[in-house]
Amino acid sequence: MSKPNDTEHRAEIIAALRDFADQIESDPTIPTPDPGSIHVWSFLMRSEGTQSERFAAVHTFAEAHGATVRITDKDDRQAAAHFGPIELTVHAFGDEQPAPQPRVVTRADDAALITA
């Protein structure tokens, strides 16, 4: 799974965020963004590692940032953390799409992390 540790890709994102901040700071023609509407998503796709690796990455993110892991209606895993007014959601896609069952899950009781 390369996305979380892809140094070059991360550097591009960091540079873009810094440029965005500089633009908002220096260009008065840009309206002030609504602090309740700044959302950034990090998607861990099915092609990136195993389902267990993707789900574990969401749990690791959540544990590091005091967030809750939620199981979506498509049995994916996601967690959101706030950095000031910016909300970052890490979303890992599951291998299958069972019937909808959204709920909260911890690493200890996440059956999808248990390997055979």
22-41 pLDDT tens trace: 999 999 999 998 988 899 99
Residues 6+ apart with CB under 8 A from 25: none
Domain assignment present for 48: yes
Confidence of residue 44 (pLDDT cuts 50, 70, 90): very high
Domain assignment present for 64: yes
3-state SS assignment for residue 88: strand
pLDDT in tens, 45-94: 999 999 999 999 999 999 999 999 999 988 899 999 999 999 999 999 99
Domain assignment present for 6: no
Domain assignment present for 63: yes
CA gap 68, 5 in Å, rounded: 22
> Which pLDDT score is estimated for 116?
45
CA gap 26, 74 in Å, rounded: 42
Domain assignment present for 84: yes
Domain assignment present for 29: no
Residue ranges making up the domain that contains 104: 35-113
> Which pLDDT score is estimated for 35?
83
